Amino acid sequence: MRTKTAAAIAFSMGNRNPDGRETVVERLRRGIAEAGLECGCRETADDVLDKVGAEEDLILRAGGLADARKMRDAIVVVIALLGELDELMPDEPDRTTFHEIAGLFQDVAEFASWGAAAAKRAAGQGNG
């Protein structure tokens, strides 16, 4: 359930996409400012844009959190597969097993990197 406080906090974090591009809300806000509106509708438009921007940011942050959880789950699966490492001996005749283990460690590193990026998205803008 969304609260006004959560929306206000989310909005205060900024309205930029994770890649730094302007959001639709920012472009609309800039367009309204450039139009030079001098009527009561300007305040209403700003209020609506504030709400939409806060919701958009919350959606992006929720997606980042979901992606971080997926990466955590993927790491758990790979760690279970790495359990095979305990059964290996240095004189293992099938050397490809060691390459497979190395690949699993690389998978953990990639999943961790993606998870870190997702967690940063979950933090939102301005929480660097």
Strand stretches in the chain, DSSP E: none
Residue 59: the pLDDT is 92
Task: Please indicate, yes or no, if residue 128 is contained in any of the structural domains.
Answer: no
Contacts of 66-73 with CB under 8 Å at 24 or more apart are 67/114, 67/115, 67/118, 67/121, 68/115, 68/118, 68/119, 68/122, 70/118, 71/111, 71/112, 71/114, 71/115, 71/118, 72/115
Residue 100: the pLDDT is 94
Task: Please indicate, yes or no, if residue 46 is contained in any of the structural domains.
Answer: yes
Overall domain count for the chain:
1
Short-list 4, 112, 2, CA closest to 50: 4
Token pair belonging to 37: 């509106």
Range of the domain at 39: 4-123
Burial of 53 (0-12, 13-18, 19+ CB in 10 A): buried
Q: What stretches in the chain show pLDDT beneath 50? A: 1-15
Q: What is the pLDDT of residues 61-77, one digit of tens each?
A: 999 999 999 999 999 99
Task: Please indicate, yes or no, if residue 80 is contained in any of the structural domains.
Answer: yes
